[in-house]
Amino acid sequence: MKRIIFLFLMLSSILFANKDLKILNWPEYIDVDILKEFTSTTGISIDYLIYNNNEELIDQLKTKEKFDVIFPSSSYLSKMIEQNLLSTIKIEKLKNYNQIDTFYLHEKFKNYSIPYTWGTTSIIFNKEKITLNSFKNLWDKNLQNKLFILNDMSDMFAISLNSLNIDINTQNKDDIKKAYLKLLELIPNIKGFYSNSEKLAIDFINENGYAAIVYNGDISNIIKNKKYQYIYPNEGALLWVDTIAISSNSLNKKEAYEFIDFIISKDKALQNFKEIGYAIPNKNLKYNSVIYPSQKEKKDLKRVVIGKEEALYKKYWKMFLSQLSLKGVTYE
């Protein structure tokens, strides 16, 4: 009798485990009510884990555990496709796909992902202290110890390369080195260094920073204060897109499609937008100027893509970080 029960438990645990939809996502990157509603509506259980950066996501996908729905940044898509971590997406399985504004996603990724959120990385500054038009202004002397930056290697290199008038996605080693040296020159201005963009925004205000590199999704509250301005610089802001994808080893593809279709619907997109504050590329959503740039600004947006010299970028980034830490900059 005991053995039968044991077998039953074993079987059911396998069956039910497989039925759990396994999701990997960034922190605070979904309205959790959507998860509950999805379960309530479909009866599908969800197992949802959080990662903090794309590298961690890649590492997770390489473990024995099999995930279904993931949310990679577009800049990492090439790499992940190369490493065969993604399933192709069959858009015909998604009833709500036609609501997606696919402008933000590069054509070559459209078979592997759907844009989930997007945003810009740009500058916010205190108008009372300073005026900025370009990323080049970040190196200005009057910003000494007044600048807050993000722990975002690709964006910071892009800003550095941009100020050197070099292609932000260059894979030329000399160029990359130049960008690194240029970043070192920025150190005297740097007051705070943050992984958490929201925390950066808060400290930037509290510590009377003059300027900061931020994700536009995290500043909707700050810009309510007219002192602060978020700009799309002359050379164009940096565009980032986070996407929805299905892991190549997904065991619950049917449920994965069901889930994706559920969250990209107009209602859930709006619900999600309200909760997480980042732009969601749903054609039905109304825009505001900070989150959603004008058509001109939209055209100028530059996409960062992780290329073959990623290791070199990383090496210089590390060297930069060690230099930065010598200065004693707060690292959060």
The residues of the shown chain that bind other proteins, judged by CB under 8 A, are: 20, 27-28, 32-33, 35-41, 43, 45-50
Q: Beta-strand (E) ranges in 163-210?
A: 190-194
**Residue 196: count of CB within 10 angstroms of its CB:** 15
Taking residue 114's Cβ as centre, other Cβ atoms within 10 Å add up to: 22
- Dihedral of alpha carbons 293, 296, 302, 303, sign: positive
Which is closer to other proteins, CB of 235 or CB of 275?
275
Give the nearest distance from C-beta 51 to other proteins in angstroms. Answer: 10
User: Strands 114-126 and 238-246: what pairing?
Assistant: antiparallel
Which residue, 20 or 175, is less far from other proteins as judged by CB?
20
CB of 274 to other proteins, least distance (A): 18
H or E element in which residue 163 lies: helix 153-163
Tokens of 313: 């970028």
| Shortest separation between residue 147's beta carbon and other proteins, angstroms | 27
Helices (H) and strands (E) in the chain, counts: 11, 11
Q: Which is nearer to other proteins, 45 or 172 (CB)?
A: 45
Q: Are 240 and 74 in contact (CB under 8 A)?
A: yes
- Between CA 65 and CA 249 the distance in angstroms is 9
* Closer residue to other proteins, CB minimum distance, 196 or 323: 196
Q: Based on CB atoms, which residue is closest to other proteins, 53 or 145?
A: 53
Say how far apart CA 244 and CA 269 lie, in whole Å. Answer: 13
> Whole-number minimum distance, CB 44 to other proteins, in Å?
8
Smallest separation (angstroms) from other proteins to the CB of 196: 11
Nearer to other proteins, 43 or 328 (CB): 43
171, with CB counted inside 10 A (0-12, 13-18, 19+), is: middle
Residue 51's alpha-carbon distances to 26, 27, 61, 72, in angstroms, are: 5, 7, 11, 10
Least distance to other proteins from the beta carbon of 46, Å? 4
| Residue 155 or 255 having the CB closest to other proteins | 255
Shortest distance, CB of residue 116 to other proteins, whole angstroms? 17
How many Cβ atoms sit within 10 Å of the Cβ of residue 324? 19
